[in-house]
Amino acid sequence: MSNLLAKKLKVAIVQITAGSNKQANLQHAKEFIVRAKQQEPQLDLVVLPECFNSPYSVTEFANYAEQIPSGESTQFLSQLAKELSIILVGGSIPESDQGKVYNTSVTFDRDGSIIGKHRKVHLFDIDIPGGITFKESITLTGGSKVTSINVPEFGTFGEGICYDIRFPELAQISARRDNAFAMIYPGAFNTVTGPLHWHLLARSRAVDNQLYTILASPSRNYDLNYHAYGHSLVVDPMGKIIAEAGEGEEIIFAELDPELLPSSRNGIPVTKQRRFDVYEDISTKVETSAL
């Protein structure tokens, strides 16, 4: 089991809009990541939003899908992480693998090496009368693994993508089994579900597991068919929002303090009070994998 957060971690969330031109989307992401590093030279970790290199559309996922690690987006992010010496959570991109398309996030270390890969487990298939209908399963295949990613200089964080946050099991497994200090969720909630549950779910996952939660959203753009909610945010282990974006394109920064993890867990010791004689500990039943 890895240690909890070993030292203070400086985080930036890049909230941007992706259009129809993949190369332009990659360059746009680079501009913001470089700007984040310039504004905070001691930056450790950068998180991009879900589908940062392509439109968020069931009719477009396959058109933008690429292989990992040979695809242009993966190679682009790897080089950028190395150039800037940052840990980079590459939001998510459509991934093509053996005839299937996945919604996949790739994480890179400071040398540009891949240290984690998460395929969205729970596909966003919803139908809210008078609200929104969206079915990712029309073109996407769901992943089949819980993802915990170890960063030797800091510790371990878990990852989910967007709709994954509604299912607490992923965070429970990463927190209990792998002693994760944070859950990171690139996600594109919309203007219907966002106001209802975005903040609620972020704070719930943080409080349930007494860890940090980081949500990275695309910016809101009414010129697109899908209207992202925005409001990228960072929540501490006590459920306090310590950084939040608005609706437009911007960068937000936060510092994760390692002292808050033991203090929250000692003050409200739910991690020691669970009754596995009454209910099952699911974290012992699942094998985690970063790749």
The active-site residue out of 22, 66, 120, 159 is 120
pLDDT value for 55: 96
CATH number for the domain harbouring residue 185? 3.60.110.10
Rounded Cα gap, residues 69 and 152, in angstroms: 22
Q: Does residue 62 fall inside a structural domain?
A: yes
pLDDT of residue 3: 59
| 136-175 per-position pLDDT tens digit | 999 999 999 999 999 999 999 999 999 999 999 999 999 9
With 0-12 CB in 10 A as exposed, 13-18 as middle and 19+ as buried, what is 283? Answer: middle
Q: Is residue 2 part of a domain?
A: no
Question: pTM to 2 decimals?
Answer: 0.96
- Give catalytic status of residue 95 as yes or no: no
Establish if 214 belongs to a structural domain: yes
Choosing from 50, 95, 136, 159, the catalytic residue is: 50
Whether 162 sits among the annotated catalytic residues: the reply is yes
Report yes or no on 260 lying in a domain: yes
What is the C-alpha to C-alpha distance for residues 158 and 174, in angstroms, rounded to an integer?
5
Residue 290, in any domain of the structure: no
Structural domain that includes position 124: 9-284
Tell me the per-residue pLDDT of 122-131, one tens digit each, with 9 for 90 and over: 999 999 999 8
Token look-up 């310039």 returns: 38
Beta bridge partners of 149: 157
Does residue 125 lie within any of the structural domains? yes
Q: Can you give the pLDDT at residue 287?
A: 66
Alpha carbon 161 to its chain centroid, in Å, reads: 5
Which residues neighbour 177 within 8 Å (Cβ) at sequence distance 6 or greater?
1, 148, 283, 284, 286, 288
Q: For the chain, which residues score pLDDT lower than 70?
A: 1-3, 287-291
Residue 4 resides in a domain: no
Confirm whether 120 is a catalytic residue.
yes
Number of folded domains in the chain? Answer: 1
* Residue 122 forms part of a structural domain: yes
Catalytic residue among 37, 66, 159, 162: 162
CA distance 17 to 49: 9
